[in-house]
């Protein structure tokens, strides 16, 4: 049986809330974390890890509109997997130190050149360019502090992006608005945004998305990351030989990398996850909408995989799904 409707919900109250300026109602209380153009990949990974974030603006530098450039963990995964694919195992391992010292300014725009093959060959024969310019693939979209919440969410949904840069009166980035910020806002205001916040997903007829891209626990981590890049997903369930889920691999796990642990990328994904102490939570269609939102917010998840009674994956719910369902 479904739950009673929220006594706080009305279409007028919902519209008024969504008309509020993003700068007034979203939880943007964390200080903005930035990196400089010469900070290395090691520095970036450390700052992402320490601040539990997935993206940062690059400030300063000589490039035009430098304040609007971002670097995120997806860029890093793409760069590492591109380096491996283009250099090969031997040259990749030989150049690990150089790869990890790449500067943000290069990673956000430019090409890197590594020696490949016989060092006695001339440069034209032995060098290998690695694509590092992701600026056209991950453009920075901006909004002002006075933009209505509904307009900001519509922009994220329409453009299929996970974040917006919030500009202050001087057109400088003051914060990043992420899907996680939006979900926090939804959870805090759920009674005003949804008429049945304590009904289950099954009662609301909100099934998880399927089918789901997955990997097996015996697959090498680097291969899993390459497959994720090629299929444009940022998280996959890890399955054993019986198809039962045993873990979750996400691009965010790469925030744990340091130069000494790069070889772990060539371990089976199950051992890689064990080495970093990765944990996971699963969902079911008997969860209420409120509880689902709470799980996502408390664990800072971007994905939640749903299992059937046999422990097999039946679908996934993402932050994009939740935003679409609630707003």
33 and 143 share one domain? yes
Phi, psi of 116 (to 5 degrees): -135, 135
At 191-248, the pLDDT tens digits run 999 999 999 999 999 999 988 999 999 999 999 999 999 999 999 999 999 999 999 9
Q: Which of 193, 211, 245 is the last residue of a domain?
A: 193
Residue 58, domain extent = 7-193
At 101-146, the pLDDT tens digits run 998 877 754 334 444 444 344 444 444 555 554 444 455 788 999 9
Q: Cα–Cα distance between 185 and 196 in angstroms, integer?
A: 17
Q: What's the pLDDT score for residue 3? A: 57
Q: Which residue has the higher pLDDT, 179 or 136?
A: 179
Q: Which of 193, 228, 248 is the last residue of a domain?
A: 193
Residue 2 falls inside a structural domain: no
177 and 211 share one domain? no
Residue 1 falls inside a structural domain: no
Q: Cα 278 to the chain's mean position, in Å?
A: 16
Q: Cα–Cα distance between 45 and 40 in angstroms, integer?
A: 9
Query: Which residues, 6 or more positions from 184, have their beta carbon under 8 angstroms from its beta carbon?
Result: 26, 27, 297
Specify the CATH number for the domain of residue 45: 3.10.580.10
Q: Which of 140, 164, 193 is the last residue of a domain?
A: 193
> How many domains does the chain contain in total?
2
- H/E segment holding residue 235: strand 235-239
292 and 316 share one domain? yes
């Amino acid at each position: 049986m479904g739950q009673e409707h929220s006594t706080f919900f009305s279409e007028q109250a919902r519209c008024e809330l969504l008309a509020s300026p993003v700068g007034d109602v979203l939880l943007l209380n964390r200080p903005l974390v930035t990196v400089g153009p010469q900070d290395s990949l090691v520095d970036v990974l450390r700052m992402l890890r320490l601040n539990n974030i997935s993206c940062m603006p690059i400030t300063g530098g000589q490039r035009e509109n430098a304040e609007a450039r971002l670097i995120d963990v997806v860029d890093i995964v793409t760069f590492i997997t591109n380096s491996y694919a283009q250099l090969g195992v031997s040259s990749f391992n030989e150049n690990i130190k150089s790869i990890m010292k790449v500067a943000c300014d290069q990673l956000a725009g430019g090409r890197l050149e590594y020696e490949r093959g016989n060092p006695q060959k001339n440069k034209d024969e032995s060098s290998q360019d690695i694509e590092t310019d992701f600026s056209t693939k991950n453009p920075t979209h901006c909004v002002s502090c006075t933009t209505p919440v509904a307009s900001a969410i519509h922009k994220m949904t329409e453009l299929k992006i996970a974040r917006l840069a919030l500009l202050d009166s001087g057109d400088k980035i003051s914060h990043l608005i992420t899907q996680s910020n939006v979900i926090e806002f939804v959870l805090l205001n759920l009674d005003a945004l949804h008429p049945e916040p304590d009904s289950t997903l099954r009662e609301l007829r909100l099934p998880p998305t399927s089918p789901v891209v997955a990997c097996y626990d015996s697959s090498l981590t680097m291969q899993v990351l390459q497959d994720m890049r090629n299929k444009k997903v940022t998280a996959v369930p890890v399955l054993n030989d019986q198809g039962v889920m045993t873990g979750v691999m996400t691009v965010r796990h790469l925030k744990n990398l340091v130069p000494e642990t790069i070889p772990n990328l060539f371990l089976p994904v199950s051992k890689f996850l064990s080495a970093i102490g990765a944990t996971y939570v699963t969902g079911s269609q008997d969860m209420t909408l409120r509880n689902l939102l709470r799980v996502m917010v408390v664990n800072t998840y971007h994905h939640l995989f749903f299992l059937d009674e046999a422990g097999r994956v039946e679908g996934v719910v993402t932050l994009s799904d939740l935003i679409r369902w609630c707003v």
